[in-house]
């Protein structure tokens, strides 16, 4: 901080009568410029300088006027010291309140003793006040920085066994500022699963001075769990650790953000893999019917046999089914609306009327109604029935209730076909898995998606007849 070569001083008195000797003496010192302000509360503002290095107030002012003058001075020049001149008699009668209102008192006996003493007394007061203001600014800046970064400092004196925290660490621990921490108390705030780790690092720091930086969990005085970054280093004198110090930063937000980011990345990877599998399945399932359609049309052109058109129609229907299933799987809407209490056996029979086969018998058992979207529930039955009819030689399909004790817990669909031949039950619902004598691997994925969107669960297993059994738990307990 560069000091001025000259100092501007403002002397404030009640009137412009005889000036104290100390003012005349100051005015004769080359580095001081002294200006006069009479009755400062009432003086014309234009007559008061914009900046001054020090304000000197006459000790002849009464307490009320003095306080008013000091208030005006501190408001106009916040960083400028206010000094009071006192005669010997005034020094004996001036109140404690008046003395505490100013930064320094100047005895009018000083000039007669030593001009140099007066000069350095003024300069020292001005510089000290500036240093105090600068220190205050630095402290405010440090405090604000700690608040913004949610970081505080700590220091431990080994000889005195005294642990000191900055204000922000109290906030991180959710403790009052009057709390007096000890090392054991401080360690006790760390999560029990992380406590041994932080204790080991601190013991090593105390013994060897080895620095550390650690991310651990802290349980505040109010029971809140926070992630903190703890850092420590040591002050070493004559090969011995004298003090340790460091910082604690609340990084809960960063950890949660990182966790959420990783979760999103994982979800994106899963969705990318899912879409890639879907694309591979579509490539296969669309190409095969199109190849068949192309061949059948060519045969029709060559022979005029209209029976070839029946095969074309069947493959067009298959393409339509594949497209419908695919559109369902890629819908962004993840909720099920228009829920109502429905009869499961009635919905199953409606589905059978659409996809059923005369060579296969459907058995349904009457059961309690469940809350569901009727249209989507029917789609579940249609896909499960189609899976059996298309890929097995089953003669029977059965739909019935699942119970947990005496309570309805969902329903099942099973058959007496060949069961699962190319995939484990857990893999059947993945896009692209062909689990029952081939198939597109899309239909069961649609079933799984509808089940998931109802917040139900589905399990595939072998039926008592060796066929396939699907149990859908609706969690009605």
**Domain presence at residue 113:** yes
Same domain, 226 and 345: no
Residue-level pLDDT at 363: 95
Q: Which residues pair with 32 in a beta bridge?
A: 7
How far is it, in rounded angstroms, from Cα 286 to Cα 297? 16
Alpha helix segments (H runs only) across 47-114: 63-76, 88-93, 96-101, 110-113
> Would you say 232 and 245 are in contact if contact means Cβ atoms under 8 Å apart?
yes
**Domain presence at residue 268:** yes
* Domain of residue 184, CATH code: 3.30.450.20
Same domain, 279 and 393: no
CA dihedral (11, 13, 16, 22) positive or negative: negative
Segments of the chain with pLDDT less than 70: 1-4, 15-19, 38-47, 109-115, 135, 138-149, 277-278, 280-285, 288, 318, 321-322, 325-326, 328-335, 421-427, 430-441, 476-477
Same domain, 43 and 87: yes
| Boundaries of domain holding 302 | 258-329
Q: Each residue of 371-426: pLDDT tens digit? A: 998 888 888 898 899 888 888 888 999 999 998 888 889 999 999 988 776 556 66
Distances (CA, A) of 119 to 9, 102, 105, 133, 424: 12, 18, 14, 22, 96
Among candidate residues 230, 250, 270, the one where a domain is terminated: 250
Q: Each residue of 313-363: pLDDT tens digit? A: 877 876 776 677 667 666 655 667 778 999 999 999 988 988 888 899 999
Same domain, 61 and 174: no
Q: Record the pTM.
A: 0.46
Among candidate residues 329, 361, 379, the one where a domain is terminated: 329
> Would you say 80 and 130 are in contact if contact means Cβ atoms under 8 Å apart?
no
Residue-level pLDDT at 437: 42
Q: How many domains does the chain have?
A: 4
Residue-level pLDDT at 99: 86
> Would you say 378 and 350 are in contact if contact means Cβ atoms under 8 Å apart?
yes
How far is it, in rounded angstroms, from Cα 102 to Cα 344? 90
**Encoded tokens for 133:** 């203001």
> Would you say 335 and 453 are in contact if contact means Cβ atoms under 8 Å apart?
yes
Distances (CA, A) of 255 to 227, 259, 356: 7, 6, 55
**Stretch (H or E) spanning 277:** helix 252-303
Among candidate residues 227, 250, 273, the one where a domain is terminated: 250
**Domain presence at residue 335:** no
3-state secondary structure of 185: helix
Same domain, 168 and 294: no
Same domain, 324 and 354: no
Same domain, 269 and 216: no
């Amino acid at each position: 901080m560069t000091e001025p070569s000259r100092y501007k001083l403002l002397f404030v008195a009640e009137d412009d009568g005889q000036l104290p000797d100390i003012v005349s003496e100051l005015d004769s010192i080359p580095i001081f410029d002294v200006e006069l302000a009479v009755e400062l509360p009432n003086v014309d503002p234009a007559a008061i300088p914009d900046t001054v290095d020090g304000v000197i107030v006459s000790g002849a002012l009464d307490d009320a006027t003095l306080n008013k003058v000091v208030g005006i001075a501190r408001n106009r020049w916040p960083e400028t010291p206010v000094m009071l001149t006192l005669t010997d008699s005034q020094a004996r009668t001036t109140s404690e309140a008046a003395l505490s209102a100013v930064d320094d008192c100047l005895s009018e006996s000083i000039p007669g003793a030593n001009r140099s003493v007066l000069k350095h007394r003024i300069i020292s007061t001005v510089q000290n006040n500036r240093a105090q203001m600068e220190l205050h600014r630095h402290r405010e800046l440090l405090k604000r920085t700690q608040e913004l970064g949610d970081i505080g400092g700590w220091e431990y004196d080994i000889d005195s066994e005294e642990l000191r925290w900055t204000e922000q660490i109290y906030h991180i621990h959710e403790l009052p500022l009057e709390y007096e921490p000890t090392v054991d108390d401080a360690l006790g705030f760390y999560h029990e699963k992380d406590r041994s780790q932080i204790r080991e690092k601190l013991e090593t720091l105390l013994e060897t001075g080895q620095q550390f930086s650690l991310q651990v969990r802290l349980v505040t005085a109010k029971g809140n769990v926070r992630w903190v970054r703890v850092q420590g280093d040591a002050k070493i004198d004559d090969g011995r650790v004298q003090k340790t110090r460091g910082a604690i930063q609340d990084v809960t937000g960063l950890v949660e953000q990182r966790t959420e980011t990783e979760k999103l990345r994982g979800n994106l990877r899963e969705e990318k893999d899912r879409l890639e599998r879907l694309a591979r399945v579509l490539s296969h399932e669309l190409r095969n019917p199109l190849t068949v359609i192309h061949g059948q049309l060519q045969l029709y052109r060559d022979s005029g046999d209209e029976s070839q058109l029946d095969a074309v129609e069947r493959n067009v229907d298959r393409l339509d089914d594949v497209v419908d299933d695919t559109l369902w799987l890629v819908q962004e809407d993840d909720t099920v609306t228009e829920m109502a209490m429905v009869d499961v056996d009635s919905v199953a029979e409606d589905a059978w009327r659409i996809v059923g086969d005369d060579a296969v018998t459907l058995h349904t058992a009457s059961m309690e109604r469940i809350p569901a979207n009727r249209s989507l529930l029917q789609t579940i039955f249609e896909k499960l029935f189609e899976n059996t009819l298309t890929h097995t030689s089953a003669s029977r399909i059965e739909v019935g209730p699942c119970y947990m004790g005496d309570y309805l817990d969902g329903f099942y669909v099973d058959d007496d076909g060949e069961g699962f031949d190319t995939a484990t039950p857990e893999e059947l619902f993945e896009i692209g898995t062909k689990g029952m004598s081939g198939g597109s691997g899309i239909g069961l994925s649609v079933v799984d998606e509808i089940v998931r969107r109802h917040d139900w669960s589905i399990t595939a297993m072998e039926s008592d007849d060796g066929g396939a059994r699907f149990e859908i738990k609706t969690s009605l307990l």
